[in-house]
Each structure stands twice: as structure tokens, then as C-alpha cells.
Amino acid sequence: KKYTVLIPAAGSGSRMGAGFNKLFLELVDKPILIHTLEVFENDPSCEGMILSVKEEERLDISRMIAQFGITKVKMLVEGGAERQQSVAACIHAHPSNGIILVHDAARPFIRHEVIRQLVETADVQGAAIAGVRVKDTMKTASDTIVEGTIDRSTLWSIQTPQAFRYEVLKEASDKAEADGFLGTDESMIVERLGFPVHIVESAYDNVKMTTKEDLLFGEVLLKHRRQ
Ligand code: C5P
């Protein structure tokens, strides 16, 4: 089953503290962004990628895409101040049917097998997201005083990709925009429709490169996979 992937890449990466977009940081031999794009470049089921970028980074990113021989990027659209707006810009640029994935540019370690399961589930059910069961004991707290402990068996840590039939994502995105609702992932805007979202069990190594420690882990993981 074929799909198109929307890749928000217009963040500022402030938590990385690099002073520039973290997606330009090299992981072993290539920028993080390129590692992520290569996953989809090398997946025969991926028909195309649409990236949202900061206007001032458009030129650098399009050069990088050419330099590393990435051929499936159809469009670079202008991102927004919030991640959801960056994804909405991609959705507006792609008025078409079929299965749509949304994937963080900052998650270069996603596995083809998880992508395949997400696409399959979204095709049948309409909405499927990648996640892993939480490993730690989870508590709520007011400031730093514990309020209570949440039953861990009901908790998932959610990642991307998140996969949807186009019309589900489009309706959710339009409604969120009309209501001024901002979610932290695409699933949240789909959940608001009352539409059931299915979790596909992913892997703990599908980490988002967010802070310096993630880069260390990323380098080790990449070297290990290449052995
Ligand atoms: O900041 P965080 O790592 O959670 O961002 C997840 C992804 O969303 C990153 O790939 C980042 O570039 C992208 N993003 C975006 N537009 C924003 C904020 C984040 O495209 N305004």
C-alpha cells in the first residue's frame, strides 16, 4: 500500500542548544534530516515527501536534499510557529486521497516494519499511531509533591509516524484550525472528532533527537545498526 509522508522540519531546536536547527547536526556522517529522509527514500511504498521548513532555511535544505541524492521530496512548504501549523501547511499543499503519514524530521531511526504496519492499520481503520509502553512508574505531581500514581499498564509513550486516511486528517486539521485548538501531535486533533485511533507497537529506539543526550544515543545506535 502506497503512502505520502508529511515531514515537519521547521522547528528551532531550542532544547538542543546548538544555536541553529538541530536537523542540520551531523549524526556520524550525515545531517539528522538526511538520515530521516533516507528512510522514506528507501521505502518503495513511499510515493513522496512534503517537508515544511523555515523560509530562511529553504535554500540550505533544498541544497542538502540534492547533495545527498534524495529524489522523493515533492515540495518544501513554509512551516509555522507551532508544529501543528507546520503540519497543516503540508496538508494544504497536498489535496489528495490515500494514506498520509506524519513523521518528525527529528526521528531518524524509524523502522520500515513499523511504517508498514501503520500504513496497513490506517488503511483499514483510518488512524494509526506509533507508540511504546512506558517503562517507568508514572506519577502526577503538583509542583514536586506527588499527587498519585497512574496505572502504568494503561499508558503509552507516543511517537511518530502517525498514519491517517487523508480525509480523516484533513477534517481533523480543518476543525482544529477553525476552533483554534493546538495539539502536541496529530492524533490529538483526530481524537477530538471522536474517531478511534489505533496504536501500533513501535520500538524504544525510535527516539526523537531533542537534547544532547539523544545525539549520543543516536550515534551509538547508528554505528550498531551498520555493523
Ligand atoms: O521540537 P520537536 O522536536 O518536538 O519537533 C518535532 C518536529 O516538528 C521536528 O522535526 C521539528 O523540526 C518540527 N517542527 C516544525 N515546526 C515547528 C516546531 C517543530 O516543523 N513550529
Looking from the CA of 146 toward its CB, the CA atoms found within 13 Å total 6
Q: Quick check: 161 pLDDT over 90?
A: yes
**ipTM confidence:** 0.97
Query: What pLDDT score was predicted for residue 97?
Result: 86
User: Where are the extended beta strands (E) located within 73-144?
Assistant: 73-78, 99-102, 127-133, 138-142
What's the CA-to-centroid distance between 10 and ligand 1, angstroms?
6
Query: What pLDDT score was predicted for residue 176?
Result: 98
> What does the pLDDT average to over 78-94?
96
Ligand 1 atom showing the smallest separation from residue 8 Cα:
20
Q: How confident is the model at residue 43 (pLDDT cuts 50, 70, 90)?
A: very high
Write down all domains in the chain, each with its CATH number in brackets: 3-226 (3.90.550.10)
Ligand 1 atom showing the smallest separation from residue 105 Cα:
10
> What does the pLDDT average to over 146-174?
97
Nearest alpha carbon, ligand 1 atom 11: 11
208 lines ligand 1 (CB under 6 A): yes
> What does the pLDDT average to over 158-180?
98
The span from the CA of 27 to the CA of 31, in Å, is 6
The residue to mutate among 77, 83, 85, having the most atoms of ligand 1 within 8 angstroms of its beta carbon, is 83
**Contacts for 41-45 with beta carbons within 8 Å, 24 or more apart?**
41/70, 41/71, 41/72, 42/112, 43/112, 43/115, 45/1, 45/2, 45/3, 45/115, 45/116, 45/119
33 lines ligand 1 (CB under 6 A): no
Query: What pLDDT score was predicted for residue 13?
Result: 86
52 lines ligand 1 (CB under 6 A): yes
> What does the pLDDT average to over 65-69?
98
Query: What pLDDT score was predicted for residue 127?
Result: 98
The span from the CA of 47 to the CA of 97, in Å, is 12
Instruction: Kindly state the percentage of the chain with pLDDT values over 90.
Output: 95
